[in-house]
Structure 1
Amino acid sequence: MEERLQKILAKAGIASRRGSEQLIRDGRITVNGRPITELGFKADPAKDTITFDGKPLTFEHKVYVLLNKPAGYVTTLADPQGRPIVSDLLQDFPERLFPVGRLDLDTEGALLMTNDGELGNTILHPRYEVKKTYEAWVAGFPSAKELGRLERGIEIDGVRTRPAQIRVLKRDKNQSLVEVIIHEGKKRQVRKMFQAIDHRVIHLKRTAYGKLRLGSLARGKYRILTINDLKKIFSQKIPFTIKNILA
């Protein structure tokens, strides 16, 4: 059956659907020997020969991993500056795993890694509003009024953030530990939110995707996720496209 090329690449674990679109634009995909740069191009993986950088696609066993990313690692599969990359921490896997979303270089915590581009794309899609929970140590003691601004939404880089859930967990000397729950993924969003109310983020850690929590997983370590783990990521509405995975 014919499908859009980026969907086929995502199913093969090459990259997320968005990442696959960039590979197509870059001319790294061929179908029956012809380079394809058209995003709407359709192919049938059962009949057509599809290659990525000259290598035929293979459809791997799907792997789902929760990694406790340390600070100092970039959330990419390669880095021209030679910095450590998150895949360095997952060398036990023969599959090519990619991160679902990103964490900044100086942010640590929960990071999903998989070769299932379809699931990764679904988790990132705004329609499903997958909640991400962070714990942020911030300078000073934000007032209830200031935190209320963040909860209602605040303008960052000309765009208003969606409503957030905020609560103070602890106050210590001249800083506060604040829990932040959002379902967006704008670049450095949590840091920019607190910067907007003049309380700089000192340390940031993501602790959960939905109800899938990092728990006691040690920094730099990972665990393989079960189907029940994956179900915890989503709230009430499980996407139709992955119901077969979560059945």
Structure 2
Amino acid sequence: MMRLNKYIAHYSTYSRREADKAVQDGYVRVNSEIETNPATQVQEGVDIVYISGKQVSPQEKYTVIVYNKPKGELVTKNDPKGRKTIYDSLSKEFRHFIPVGRLDFASEGLLLLTDASHVATSLMESDLERIYKLKIKGEVTPDMEDAMLNGIYLDDASAGAHSHSKITSMDIKPFIGYKIQKNQPNYSILKVALKEGKNRELRRFFAHFGAEVADLKRVSFAEIELNNLPTGKTRYLSRSEYSALYKFLKEEKKRARDNKRKEDKEQ
């Protein structure tokens, strides 16, 4: 909930004082009814506010960048061991940006960062498609393919994990898809698509079958692709990528609101 005058000032070109005057002078309607009290509470995404017949719509301002993370950088603010982090490479204007998930020290590729925590959380917790390109030592076996298609539960998920990892088991869901580009006894190359990015999930998956991941690169996240972005460089989202993200966040907010209403009815 938000005060009406604050809502108008936040989502329009009106100042707080101008918003107060517009409300008091009878130029503001909330859900088709004239409202003259600037302190009236309105709910974003539920109440519809108009000033002189023009709707004031919530339009969140946030920035998202794509970073082509190189190998040998940690996705963290500080490392007690003094190893290099992504913030050592990112320009100062992005020092406060939040990473969307993680890519481990030895992995590379597309990493999203944003200045809005709720955007980071929504993307991290989503089941949007992530595509990775991998090089593994050894060949892709029928057992691997079966597990990629049907998922697998690892009772012991220590292989492929960090030595200090507290995760002992892992339920790996079926991959969205995979494509084997080269399959040889000494090494193989494939692309895989996942709905989530658990802690070293792919390294654990292939280690379970005795295959070490030699190279791991994320090439896309939903509709956002790495394309030709050089290693160690950043770019802002394109207009079409922002549009897709805005649509996703709007749907997530609606889903959350519908769930809340359903819960309220059940209580």
Matched with 2:33 is none
TM score, norm. by length of structure 1: 0.67
Structure 1 regions of 5+ residues with no counterpart?
3-59
Deviates more, 1:233-242 or 1:218-227: 233-242
**Corresponding residue for residue 135 of structure 1:** 133
- The equivalent of 1:121 in structure 2 is 121
1:17 match: none
Q: Is the 8 A contact 1:210 1:232 kept in 2?
A: no
SS of 1:217's partner is coil
Counterpart residue number, 1:100: 100
Which one-letter code corresponds to 2:174 in the other structure? P
State the 1:94 CA deviation: 5.9
Which is greater in Rg? 2
Q: In the alignment, which residue of structure 2 is the partner of 1:15?
A: none
Distance 1:80 1:201 in 2: 26
Given that 1:137 and 1:201 are in contact with CA atoms closer than 8 Å, whether structure 2 keeps it comes out as yes
Report the equivalent of 1:221.
233
Q: Which residue of 2 aligns with 1:211?
A: 223
- After superposition, the CA RMSD in angstroms is 2.7
| SS of alignment partner, residue 120 of structure 2 | helix
Following the alignment from structure 2 to structure 1, what is the Cα–Cα distance between the partners of residues 70 and 221?
17
TM-score if structure 2 supplies the norm length?
0.62
Where do 4+ consecutive residues of structure 1 move more than 4 Å?
A: 231-238
Residue of structure 1 in register with 2:172 after alignment: 161
Q: Is 1:200 aligned to 2:200, yes or no?
A: no
Q: Distance in 1 between matches of 2:140 and 2:247?
A: 30
Unaligned runs of 5+ in 2: 3-59, 158-168, 256-267
What is the number of equivalent residue pairs in this alignment?
Answer: 184
Structure 1 vs Structure 2: percent identity of aligned residues? 27
Paired AA for residue 123 in structure 1: L
Does the CA contact (< 8 Å) of 2:223 and 2:244 recur in 1? Answer: yes
2:188 aligned with 1:176: yes
Q: Distance in 1 between matches of 2:238 and 2:253?
A: 18
Contact 2:135 2:190 in 1 (8 A): yes
CA-to-partner distance for each residue in 1:152-193, whole Å, 9 max, x for gaps?
111233332111022201246721111111112211100111
